[in-house]
Structure 1
Amino acid sequence: MSFNTKYPSIEDLRKRAKQRIPKFAFDYLDGGCNEDVNLYKNTAEIREVELLPEYLSKHTASSMKTTLFGHEYDAPFGIAPVGLQGLMWPNAPEILAKAAYKHNIPFILSTVTTSSIERIAELTEGKAWFQLYHPTKNELRDDILKRCETSGYDTLVILCDVPTFGFRPRDIRNGLAMPPNMSINNMLQILGKPTWAFQTLKHGQPNFETLKPYMPKNLDLKQLGKFMDDTFSGRLNEEKIKPIRDMWKGKLVLKGVANELDAERAINLGLDGIIVSNHGGRQLDAGESTIKPLTRIAEKYGQQIEVMMDSGIRSGPDVARSLASGATFTFMGRSFMYGVAALGNKGGDHTISLLKTQLQQVMEQICCEKVEDFKNHLI
């Protein structure tokens, strides 16, 4: 596995990304909510987890291959859904989807990112996952699900942790709240990042490509904000999930689970998996970090449903710590976006290769032969 040795960590990619993209785009990617308490706590508390090495045990080889929902992936991590990816780096979702397909890991397409259901399915031969923001109208929900099914998606992720939009001071200051407002200051920032600006001109202004068929033409920014407010209801409940479970014949995953009660509800509704997540610390600053509920939920319900995790994972060792704590699979959003913003078309491939190399080293170091054995090395 090869990667650019100038950037041998996610933090190196983060620093490079900050240099290459406008401040408003970097703040949108990098920030949490309120005082960013949970943003930092997520990673810090993952890194409190310790693993036990075994140096004299018999060891043949370590394999990162992981079977999830009947598919064998080459590594136990995937690319989490991220909104407005094309704002942070032009064509970002396509770059990442191609890299995910090449490396045989899952890519989750967000409803509100900047490539369409059909285009990502084409790039991944239908092997991507789709994350649904729940529409207010059943007709829109049904049409989106039909498009996913027609395009070959097998795994649908429904989001439960955005009943309201997080209070994000950086985005408010930068005019990226709803409705967005592109200020003179933002325009000056764009002029200071010519590569980003050129690539944006080349690929076109980012749009909500999946939602284009449902949007009135030529919306201005204020009208866009009203359209989004009118079109999506973030608050999910059991009555909204039941018809989706009835309609969707593939695997159904609930993302944003942060407590045992919601995990039990997901099991009772017949879901196939949950992603323990706090939206990367972007929704509730006063909540727990993800590793704490993950540990409890995996111990209590891990035999009944696939328990996955995102939020705060920034390295191969972080993936290992999360797997040892009970996750069967992990996802990262910011880490991959830093990679693309730093390295453009090469960013997805670089980031996946880097994480694989780091995780392989941990497995060899602690004498862990299979991903499911990580829990045996938890101190």
Structure 2
Amino acid sequence: MSNNKWIINNAYPSVTDLRNKAKRKIPKFAFEYLDGGCNEDVNLIKNTTDIRAIELLPSYLSKHQGSTMQTELFGHTYDAPFGIAPVGLQGLMWPNAPEILAKAAFEHNIPFILSTVTTSSIERISEITEGKAWFQLYHPAENKLRDDIINRAAAAACPVLVILCDVPTFGFRPRDIRNGLAMPPKMSLSNILQILGKPEWAYKTLVHGQPNFETLKPYMPKNLDLKQLGKFMDQTFSGRLNEEKIKPIRDMWKGKLVLKGVATEMDAEKAIRLGLDGIIVSNHGGRQLDAGESTIRPLTRIAAKYGDQIKVMMDSGLRSGPDIARTMASGAAFTFLGRSFMYGVAALGSKGGDHTISLLKTELQQVMEQLCCEEVADFPNHLNTL
């Protein structure tokens, strides 16, 4: 594992720069799938806006001995208090994206979470990360398939299994519907013209092959057309979780078990009662319920009430080192970012993962030094509560 100094490309010193570059480099349908929320994007915008309303207080005259971002989580000491959130269809945004990000996460000693519905397999990502990647399970409709996927994650030495509770239905996403990326998807003339206008993306896609649900390949009939694929996905997965569905997973999984998509104190309490090790407060990046709360609001309440009983983490809305600091100050034990890393890979290809992690580490280190905050556990002491 390398201890490379954080080297960033000075042409892209912010996630906004990476987003702008990504928008220019990939087809419109792929960018809008990555960038968009649901309905009118109210919660997508609110996620980041509400995080950025939080203020931090520096302690300039304290006897500061230096700052470290190292964070212990589930028995492993990570080099920073953030990881890479699971994102579906990553290879659609940039060919080989999950492998690029998993490799960068491993080299920087931060967690990478592989989605069930992304474009690399559990086994391949485990190989790249030497068994350190987490796996996020979309709940299958059949117990046999559930058990087989969980056994594969265990065989791949995944230390943490993440189960998803915030997709009981597909979000209503107008852009994806217009672009034919709803299930079943379709490739329109407009989409083909968009591809022709992005020759680097088209060439790399040709080299790596059309993106597929690699983890699900063993269970899929061969040579499905797009309509059949949509039907297969609908029949294979039941996103609606409840306590009765979680209990057998807890009994079966010997590693750490995390529930992602928690948005209320009630669900946090159930997770504790079921013996889970952690929760990720999340609203799926604002992609599921436009009328819901932003993530930082329930995070603050849940961390205050249950933070001493279960690891309370958060994703959705974080875009920068200061955002990570604000979230940690609000009580999060750890944070995850999804879009930011995908912007990085779409913008800079194979160098995008390393650049984005380095950028976030650099920003977060600066915030810590500025606050005179020596450890991430001290962030709540710098929260402006007035």
**Structure 2 length as normaliser, TM-score?**
0.98
* 1:254 matched to 2:254: no
Shift of 1:231: 0.1
Task: Give the Cα separation in 1 of the matches to 2:202 and 2:217.
Answer: 23
Query: Which of 155, 176, 179 pairs up with 2:184?
Result: 179
Letter paired with 1:368: C
Shift of 1:375: 0.3
Task: Give the Cα separation in 2 of the matches to 1:239 and 1:54.
Answer: 48
Q: Tell me the equivalent position of 2:31.
A: 26
Q: Tell me the equivalent position of 1:53.
A: 58
Query: Which of 231, 237, 240 pairs up with 1:232?
Result: 237
Letter paired with 1:167: F
Post-superposition CA distance 1:22-61 (Å, at most 9, x none): 0000000000000000000000000000000111111011
Q: Tell me the equivalent position of 2:283.
A: 278
Q: Tell me the equivalent position of 1:309.
A: 314
Task: Give the Cα separation in 2 of the matches to 1:341 and 1:105.
Answer: 20
Letter paired with 1:273: G
Q: Tell me the equivalent position of 2:132.
A: 127
Query: Which of 164, 171, 182 pairs up with 1:166?
Result: 171
Post-superposition CA distance 1:142-185 (Å, at most 9, x none): 00011011111110000000000000000000000000011010
- Pairwise mapping of residues 295-306 of structure 1 onto structure 2 (< 5 A)? 295-306=300-311
Post-superposition CA distance 1:301-339 (Å, at most 9, x none): 000000000000000000000000000000000000000
Post-superposition CA distance 1:258-307 (Å, at most 9, x none): 00000000000000000000000000000000000000000000000000
* 1:115 matched to 2:114: no
* 1:101 matched to 2:106: yes
Segments of structure 2 that go 5 or more residues without pairing to the other structure are 1-5
* 1:62 matched to 2:59: no
Q: Tell me the equivalent position of 2:297.
A: 292
Letter paired with 1:319: I
Task: Give the Cα separation in 1 of the matches to 2:7 and 2:352.
Answer: 12
Task: Give the Cα separation in 2 of the matches to 1:328 and 1:155.
Answer: 16
Post-superposition CA distance 1:71-93 (Å, at most 9, x none): 00000000000000000000000
Post-superposition CA distance 1:205-243 (Å, at most 9, x none): 000000000000000000000000000000000000000
Shift of 1:203: 0.3
Letter paired with 1:2: I
Query: Which of 194, 197, 200 pairs up with 1:195?
Result: 200
Q: What RMSD, in angstroms, separates the aligned Cα atoms of the two structures? A: 0.3
Task: Give the Cα separation in 1 of the matches to 2:313 and 2:127.
Answer: 26
Segments of structure 1 that go 5 or more residues without pairing to the other structure are none
Query: Which of 146, 151, 155 pairs up with 1:146?
Result: 151
Q: Number of aligned residue pairs: give it.
A: 379
Q: Tell me the equivalent position of 2:142.
A: 137
Runs of 4+ aligned residues of structure 1 deviating over 2 Å after TM superposition are none
Task: Give the Cα separation in 1 of the matches to 2:211 and 2:21.
Answer: 22
**Secondary structure class of the residue paired with 2:257:** strand
**Structure 1 length as normaliser, TM-score?**
1.00
Q: Tell me the equivalent position of 1:2.
A: 7
**Secondary structure class of the residue paired with 1:78:** strand
- Pairwise mapping of residues 284-363 of structure 1 onto structure 2 (< 5 A)? 284-363=289-368
Letter paired with 1:190: I
Letter paired with 1:26: F
Task: Give the Cα separation in 1 of the matches to 2:73 and 2:214.
Answer: 29
Deviating more after overlay: 157-166 vs 146-155: 146-155
Q: Tell me the equivalent position of 2:3.
A: none
Query: Which of 366, 374, 381 pairs up with 1:369?
Result: 374
